[in-house]
Copies of this chain bind each other. A is one copy, B any other.
């Protein structure tokens, strides 16, 4: 048995019954150990300078700019801060402090020592971070240039592939490479294979040669094959990096800002709960369930769309952090119930004002909400949304939590219902490119329309009689002209939003049995099932990375040829040669 939060296989001496040690996903530039963030006008530079003495867990050294979870948590933080805190930056340059090595990829000893579940979650997190780089470029006017002045191997090259452009030094030695398959018997698992052919459109037979050539490809051939965009000598390196970064910056046309500094989230952690301002997670380790609660804005919540404390940002940042902690620190939790609490009208109002606010900051908040909801879709736990509180609040952006869940249970009771907002009309796309409503009614757009029309807020003729005083003031303050229609549980079931709507005679038993049954099933089969049912419809590079590439990598990670006693990943760095089982499957 592995300790809950331990990425290392060896757990000798760790008390098994203690509260889980918490993995922190929060940091800030002044605390970075592995990256240096510099901002100079419209160009930022992220210097990878991995401190080999500070790995995420003891047991390995982060030599040659190899990375582990700690390194990637800092990278994710840096990208997020560039988006929110440095709107003047139009291009970020990734580079390294070492002169002959850009990055040698994920640390192999770390992988070799990690449990299967840690490896899978580590890869998922690094994949999300790479996608966030691409999201910043596509939607936020923040381009990226990877300046590889030396060896760029494995995950290092995968980071380069996630950037808009890649520059490789032409020194007769420095190569880009994917040595995973020939040296470790695993895949480049952070999107590399997919991006190689689907994004960079490297010819598939050349990609085949590249991915089986441990030493990689350098110089003119790397450029000719489309593996890199720029090939530059050492003497012209610095000026070329600046020129390419400036050229990328000059192409950006998206209006950003105002700058908003992201404050700490102040998560309170106890052995059985995570508590934030708007988000709570209660853990029932014995039942292997967690109860996630997301609160809507208070009536007097900050509605200043220049503030990091605005509900739309704060609540979703907290949700993001909670999802990551669930993934890494509570791997035995199989079922997560998802409840909401608050005033649906306030959520809808926040959504509507956010949508109407024409600033870069407001756009960043919407994009962050979208990314957090994708992280939710991609969390390998059974998600049951539950509307049974009198103050249940599945409205607008919070309704997405119900639409993204595997099932949605609604109690039939006065005042319990769902409400739509502008957040449900298309912007909050899943990784397939469809909205959650479109995915729910795949192939039947009329049903999407029916829900949105039924739920559409109606023109307001004075304050509605059941409007709270806070709401009325809110509506007046923001000159809103619409009121919200609550779709109660029975109608929500008829419209196809609720999976089950039941009255209070049946509800509690039905939900309890559904949770117990779900928690009793094989977690592996459930992950595969949910991956197939959640991502209905078109596939994208993003879904290919999580659905096709990661699925094969998960399989490969379980095989003796990589992680067995005589497997290549296990034996890396030792004198013994791996012994393979040769069956092709």
Q: Chain A residues in contact with chain B, CB under 8 A?
A: 2, 115-117, 120-121, 180-182, 184-187, 193-194, 196-198, 201, 203-209, 211-212, 288, 331-334, 380-381, 405-408, 439-444, 496, 499, 517-518, 521-539, 543-544, 547-549, 551-556, 558-559, 561-562, 568, 578, 580-585
Picked from B408, B517, B539, B554, the residue with its CB within 8 Å of the CB of A212 is: B517
Complex: A167 Cα to B456 Cα, angstroms: 39
Beyond contacts A209-B499, A523-B580, A548-B551: 5 other A-B pairs, Cβ-Cβ < 8 A, are: A204-B536, A523-B561, A524-B559, A528-B556, A539-B543
Q: Could you tell me the distance in whole angstroms from the C-beta of A551 to the nearest C-beta in chain B?
A: 4
Which chain B residues border A532 with CB–CB below 8 Å?
187, 193-194, 197, 548-549, 552
Picked from B205, B442, B524, the residue with its CB within 8 Å of the CB of A499 is: B205
> Are A568 and B197 touching (Cβ within 8 A)?
no
A532-B193, A539-B538 given as contacts; is B556 within 8 A of A525 (CB)? yes
> Are B585 and A121 touching (Cβ within 8 A)?
yes
Picked from B381, B439, B553, B585, the residue with its CB within 8 Å of the CB of A117 is: B585
A523-B585, A585-B121 given as contacts; is B334 within 8 A of A529 (CB)? no
Which chain B residues border A535 with CB–CB below 8 Å?
548
Q: Which residue of B lies closest to A561 (CB)?
A: B522
Which chain B residues border A184 with CB–CB below 8 Å?
525
Which chain B residues border A206 with CB–CB below 8 Å?
499
Which chain B residues border A499 with CB–CB below 8 Å?
205-206, 208-209
> Are A585 and B525 touching (Cβ within 8 A)?
no
> Are B555 and A558 touching (Cβ within 8 A)?
yes
Which chain B residues border A525 with CB–CB below 8 Å?
180-181, 184-187, 556, 561-562
Q: Can you list 13 A-B contacts (CB < 8 A)? A: A115-B583, A116-B583, A181-B521, A187-B525, A194-B532, A204-B536, A208-B533, A288-B582, A524-B555, A524-B562, A526-B584, A551-B552, A558-B559
Picked from B182, B212, B524, B556, the residue with its CB within 8 Å of the CB of A185 is: B524
> Are B518 and A212 touching (Cβ within 8 A)?
yes
A528-B552, A533-B193, A539-B544 given as contacts; is B207 within 8 A of A584 (CB)? no
Q: Which residue of B lies closest to A193 (CB)?
A: B532
Which chain B residues border A556 with CB–CB below 8 Å?
522, 524-525, 528
Complex: A406 Cα to B181 Cα, angstroms: 15
Q: Which residue of B lies closest to A551 (CB)?
A: B551
Complex: A491 Cα to B534 Cα, angstroms: 47
Picked from B441, B528, B559, the residue with its CB within 8 Å of the CB of A187 is: B528
> Are A585 and B204 touching (Cβ within 8 A)?
no
Picked from B496, B526, B529, B585, the residue with its CB within 8 Å of the CB of A380 is: B585
Picked from B196, B521, B531, the residue with its CB within 8 Å of the CB of A533 is: B196
Q: Which residue of B lies closest to A548 (CB)?
A: B547
A209-B407, A568-B522 given as contacts; is B334 within 8 A of A582 (CB)? yes
Which chain B residues border A537 with CB–CB below 8 Å?
198
> Are A554 and B522 touching (Cβ within 8 A)?
no
Complex: A552 Cα to B528 Cα, angstroms: 5
Complex: A177 Cα to B115 Cα, angstroms: 35
Which chain B residues border A547 with CB–CB below 8 Å?
544, 547-548
Picked from B185, B194, B523, B585, the residue with its CB within 8 Å of the CB of A583 is: B523
Which chain B residues border A524 with CB–CB below 8 Å?
185, 555-556, 559, 561-562, 585
Q: Could you tell me the distance in whole angstroms from the C-beta of A198 to the nearest C-beta in chain B?
A: 6
Which chain B residues border A381 with CB–CB below 8 Å?
584
> Are B333 and A584 touching (Cβ within 8 A)?
yes
Complex: A562 Cα to B211 Cα, angstroms: 32
Report the 3 A-B pairs with minimum CB-CB distance, sorted nearest first: A528-B552, A185-B522, A551-B551
